[in-house]
Amino acid sequence: MSGRAVTARTARRPRAGGTSGAHSAAPVPLPSPPAMPDTRQSDTEVPLSGAIPVAAGQPSVVRVPVPGTNGFAVELWPRNYQGKSTSTLFVQDVDGRRVLRLDYGWNKTTKSVDYHWNQQRAFSTFGIPDHTTVGRAGRRAYQAARAYRGAGRTLVVVGVGLDVASIVLADRPLRRATAVASAWALAWVGCKGVGALGAYGGSFVGPLGTAGGAIVGCIAGGYGGYRGGEALGEAVYEWAEGTVFTRLPEIPVP
């Protein structure tokens, strides 16, 4: 082989930007990494809210007062009672010493097992003698109260979880927390207030009407109170956030 022969080992590489009989390949841009999704939610349009489960479950945890009865309120759990009660619906005072309760068990008046009212120091208020049997409506009310009172507490817990999640995921957590706190406060007020009106209206058809009106009124008032409190909390936050306080001029002490 002649000395002019060029081997692959001794061949010169083209300089950067130069040519060697063919154009160099243009650089290919690398694709940008995918953007991470923003899991935060706008607190002006909250997809997570405890309004419905809170309102639906409140009657299972709130005492709904019955106007004109000197301290009686509708509840789904006994007060100051040792052991497991066979009753599911209670119209009682805060100590549980005066009570009208819907019960299922042995009735010493009818000598049979049935659904009936038991009362203790409540006859003068409601006019229902002890061991008064109830009809089909009373049986349904007893069974509905038994099923609902446990489910109601579960709904309240779900509502708490949803509201906590809405605060964590909000783009302005403090604003959402203010709205939630206000919503819960007014939901409680609405439940007791509208529930009391429902109990008063239902009392014209008897104790079952009292209890039914209290529960329905509590749900409606709780939902309205929650929504109203939510809006009020947001408005107060926006007002406070946009408020600028001007420092007063100092007055020299003589």
Dump pLDDT digits (tens) for 209-250.
999 999 999 999 999 999 999 999 999 999 988 777 677 777
Whether 14 is covered by a domain: the verdict is no
User: Is pLDDT of 20 > 50?
Assistant: no
pLDDT at 42: 56
Task: For residue 245, tell me if it sits in a domain.
Answer: no
The angle formed by the CA atoms of residues 233, 185 and 173, to the nearest 5 degrees, is 40
- Confidence class for position 97, pLDDT limits 50, 70, 90: very high
Instruction: Judge whether 58 lies within some domain.
Output: yes
Per the domain annotation, does 134 fall within a domain?
Answer: yes
> Structurally, how many domains does the chain consist of?
1
Residues 6+ apart with CB under 8 A from 9: none
Query: Is the pLDDT score of 79 beyond 70?
Result: yes
Q: Per-residue pLDDT averaged across 2-11, rounded?
A: 46
**Average pLDDT value for the chain:** 87
Q: Domain for residue 150, yes or no?
A: yes
Residue 10 counted as domain residue: no
What's the chain's Rg over C-alpha atoms? 35
d(CA 176, CA 200): 36
Length reported for the chain: 254
Answer whether residue 36 shows pLDDT above 70: no
- pLDDT of 243 reads 76
Range of the domain at 215: 51-240
Could you tell me if residue 15 is inside a domain? Answer: no
In a domain, 86, yes or no: yes
> pLDDT (tens digit, 9 = 90+) per residue, 144-177?
999 999 999 999 999 999 999 999 999 999 999 9
